[in-house]
Amino acid sequence: MTEHQTVYTHGHRDSVLRSHRSRTAANSAAYLLAEVRPGAAVLDVGCGPGTITADLAELVGPAGRVVAMDTSEQVLEQAAAYVAGRGIDNVEFVVADVHALPGPSGEFDVVHAHQVLQHVGDPVAALREMRRVCAPGGLVAARDADYAAMTWYPELPELESWLSLYRQAARANGGEPDAGRRLLAWARAAGFTEVRASSSSWTYATAGERLWWGESWADRVVGSGMATTALEHGLADEPELARIADGWRRWSMDPDGWFGVLHGEILARG
Ligand SMILES: C[S@@+](CC[C@H](N)C(=O)[O-])C[C@H]1O[C@@H](n2cnc3c(N)ncnc32)[C@H](O)[C@@H]1O
């Protein structure tokens, strides 16, 4: 274990990866896209299953390159298979921790991390490392959800329990679930002199969206890293997890159901 190491709260079970695989550069990195130019060298830290990575690789084109990094060898294998399946061949996959990135300083034009800094032990040190490997004039981009700012209807008590439990589990694992609002402060603390902060959201409200989001969380509450953490730390017992999962299923079936996820974003230079 390094001094910064945390337990990754979600884990890499299929219920989690199913949710992460829906991500694209358009729905998850719109704030960054205008800055990703053909020929650029991009580092995607905490790339997970690689769907955003693949879109970034297409944007930089054959003259550019993407290095996809993650601490999980297992998820990198899945990312490599996904990228190859799309016929993309300008991505290299490397197992690494964002707190200690391999390679020389100034190697990348863009260093990107989507939904990663909320899970790491020292986000300021992580941003300092991302800054180190960024070329002079290059850009560090990060986007993270802010759990305390998530909101929904109907106001089911089980979803209140879910939010409270998730935030406790994430903190028990050494992360910060309300990361979105902190990105600007973390970037300033990491020494960036020019930081553009913005926000954006995901909404789940159609029958298909509700089913997908609600079922994903119903599964994750009883069978992912979150469940393990909750049980190991005595934050909840199995009947409580089952009650929360039932609440998620009830929400997903309700035609009035609406869920909003707020994300903080930063584009940092200097
Ligand atoms: C929520 S997933 C996001 C995956 C991807 N960026 C996406 O949005 O689809 C977070 C990823 O960060 C990775 N991760 C967690 N801690 C890390 C660390 N210290 N260094 C590098 N990657 C890390 C996890 O293994 C996981 O794949």
Cα–Cα distance for residue pair 183/142, rounded to 1 Å: 8
Mutate to test the pocket of ligand 1, among 73, 119, 120 (most ligand atoms within 8 A of CB): 119
Q: Is 78's C-beta closer than 6 angstroms to any atom of ligand 1? A: no
Residues in the chain with pLDDT < 70?
1-3, 5, 15-19
Q: Which atom of ligand 1 is nearest to the CA of 21?
A: 9
**Protein residue with least CA distance to atom 18, ligand 1:** 97
Find out whether 67 and 44 touch, Cβ atoms under 8 Å: yes
Q: Is 53's C-beta closer than 6 angstroms to any atom of ligand 1? A: no
Q: Determine if the pTM surpasses 0.75.
A: yes
Find out whether 83 and 50 touch, Cβ atoms under 8 Å: yes
Cα–Cα distance for residue pair 267/22, rounded to 1 Å: 23
**Protein residue with least CA distance to atom 26, ligand 1:** 48
Find out whether 69 and 43 touch, Cβ atoms under 8 Å: yes
- The β-bridge partners of 68 are 44, 93
Cα–Cα distance for residue pair 262/198, rounded to 1 Å: 11
Q: Is 145's C-beta closer than 6 angstroms to any atom of ligand 1? A: no
Distance from the alpha carbon of residue 256 to the mean position of ligand 1, in angstroms: 33
